[in-house]
Structure 1
Amino acid sequence: MQNIELTSERAARLILERRRDREAERRERVFNDKVRTDGDADALHQSRAAGVLQIRRMKQKHELEEALHAFRSQNQQAWTRTEFDLNDPDRWRKMDPSDAQMILPGLVGEDPTKSSRHQRQKEQLREWLVQQQAEQGDLQGSAGAGGWKYNQSREEILNTAGERLHLQKEQRKEAAIATKNYNLAMIEEKHQLKEQNDPDYVLESAAVPGFSPSADVRPPPKTVEQVIRFQKYQIQEKKRLELERKQEEERFDRVRLDSARAALLMERRQARISKQLRRQLDSTNVHLAQTHKQQKPDIERGQIDESFFSKFNTCSR
C-alpha cells in the first residue's frame, strides 16, 4: 500500500508540473512579443507538446503496472487466501494419510470407534433412565402429599360446615322458644289488662270454656250447648272486629276527604289572590304609563310653543 501511495503522489506531482510548465510556456508565448508566433508554428508546437505528453503518460502507466505487480507478488500471494484450499493443486501432498482414505466412514468395518461409541451411548441412556425414574418418583410423592393435604382440608371444611349448621339449628330453636314464650307472655298480659279494664270479661271467659288456655284449666267442652255458645261468641267477636275495621277505614276516608277539600279550597284561594294582585299590578302600570306620558316634553309629542325656546340662554353656564 505504501508503494502505491508513493506512485500516485508522484504521478500527481508530475501532472501538476506539466500543467505548470505548459501554462508558463503559454504565457511566454502570448505575452512576449519577440517569441510570439501565430498560425502553423503554434500548431506545430502544440502537436510536439501533445506527443511528449502522450509519451509521458505511457511511461507513467507502465510504471504503475509494474508497481502494482510488485505489490501483489509481495503482499497478495495465492496461498494467503481463505478459499485457497479449495483450489490448491498440492492439496493431496499436504493431507494426512488417515484423512485421504477413499472409503466412506459410514460403511461396515470402517468405523474404528464403534464399540466405544456404543458403550458411551449405553451409559448415557442408562443415566437418562435413572434420571427419569427419579423425576417420576418425585412427582408421585408430591402428588400423594398433595392428595393427602386435599383430603385433610376437605374433612376440616366438612367438619366446620357441620358445626356451623348445628349451631344455626340450635340458634333457630332457641329463637323459636323465645318467640313462643314472648307470645304467651303478651297474651297473658293482654288478658290481665282486659280483666282490669272490663269486669264482664272475666265472666265471659269463665262462661266459655277453652277460650283462655292459660287461665282455663278445665277440660274442653263436650256438650253441644257449650260448643254452640262458643261458636256464637266467636261470631260476635268477628263482627266486632269487622265493625272496628270499618269504623277505622271510614275515619281514614273522612280525614283524606277533608284534607283534599282543604287543599282544593286553599288552591282556589291562592288563584283568586293571584288574580287580584295581577289586576292591581296592571292598573298600577296603566296609571304610571299615563302619568309618564303626561310628563313628556312637548317636542316628543310634536307640539312646540314659545315656552320651549324661552328655556335656552337663561344663565351664563
Structure 2
Amino acid sequence: MKAVLAKDLEQDAKLAKRTHAELCKQQRVFNARNRIIGGDTQAWDIQVHDQRIKEATEKARHETFAAELRQNDKVICILDDREKRDRKCLCRAISDFQQNCQKPETRREFDLSDPLALKKELPARQSDSDVRNTVSGMQKFMGEDLNFQERKKFQEEQMREWSLQQHREWERARADQKFAEDHYTQTRLNFDETASHLQKLESITRKAVCAAVKEFNRKQAMESAERKRQEKRQEQEDNMAEISSQLRGDLLSENPQQAASSFGPHRVVPDRWKGMSREQLEGVRLAQKQQIQEKLRLQEEARQRDLDWDRRRVQKARVALLGERRQHRQQCEDRRALDRSNLRLAAEQRLQCAGHGWARGRQRSSAPIKRGPGLFPLKRLFIFIYIYI
C-alpha cells in the first residue's frame, strides 16, 4: 500500500476545489433560467465582494503599517533626544576634564608658548659647576672661572709642594743608589771568596772522584776480562759438545731412519732426507734398464707385427691380382666363346633369312648380342694394388 503524504493531500484538495469551481461555472453558464444574455451576475457579485474584501484587507494592512511607522518615529525621536542629551553631557564632562586635568601649563610644549617664560628663566651662568654650561653653549672658557684668584693661589702653592716633594724624592733616590752600590760591592766580595773556596773544594773532590773512578774502572776491566775468559771457555765447551753431537747425530751420519715419514714407509720427510742409498740407486737403475729392455721388446714386437701385417697385405694383394688375372683370362675365353657362338648364330640366321624372306630375316637380325662383364673394375683394382706396392 502506497503511503499518503501531506503534499499529495494538498494537491488532491486543490484539484477537487478547481473541479467544483468548474462545475459551478458550467451550471451558471449553461443554465438558461439564471443566464442573462451570457452574463454571470452571481459570479460578478462574488468578484465584487472579493475585491471589497481585498481592498479592506489592504486598507487595514496600510493602517497597521502607518501605526507602526508612527510608533517608530516616536521611538526614533526619543532616542535622538537621548543621544543629544548624552552627547551634551559627554562634551561637558570632557570640557571639565580638560579644565581640571589638562591645563596648559601641564603640557609638554607649554614652555614654547609660555608668556612668563623670560621671568621664569634662570641666569645664563650661576656657578662654574653649572650643568647647563655645555661646550656648545660657550658660556665658560678656560681661565674665565669666577674663582680665578683663589685657583691661581692654590696652583702656586701646589707647584711649590710638588717641587719640594720632587727634591725629597731625588735625595732619597741618591741615598738608595749609594746604598745599593755599597751592598753590591760587598756582595761581589763575598761571592768571590765563596767561589775561591768552592773551587778548592771542587778540585779536591775531582781528584777523589778521579781516583775512585780509576779504581772502579780497573775492577770493572778485571771483571770484564774474567767474564770474557769464562764466556770463551764456555763457548769452546759448547762448540765441542755441539760438534760431537753433530758427528754422532743422525744429521751428519746420514741415518736414513731419520727421514722416515709417519704417513707410510714409501714416504720421507723432505727437510731430513739426504738422498737415496747406493742399493736404492742400483735398484732404480736396474728398474730403468728393465723398463728400457721392455720398451725395446715392445717396439720390436710392434715392428714385427707391422711387418707381418704388411706381408699379409701384400700376399692378399698378390692373390687378388692373380685372381683378377685368372678372372680376366676366363672372361677373355668366355668372350671368345661367346663371339664364336654369335658368329655361328649369325650364320644360321643369315641362312634362315635367305630361306624365309627378307623381312623376317631382318627382324631376327635385330636380336641383341650378349656381351661379357666389363673389365674396368678389374683394371682399377690392379692399378690400386700396383700403386700400393
Relative contact order higher in (CA < 8 Å, ≥ 6 apart)? 1
Same topology, TM > 0.5 = no
Q: Which TM-score tier does this pair reach, normalised by the shorter chain?
A: 0.3 to 0.5
TM-score by length of 1: 0.34
TM-score by length of 2: 0.29
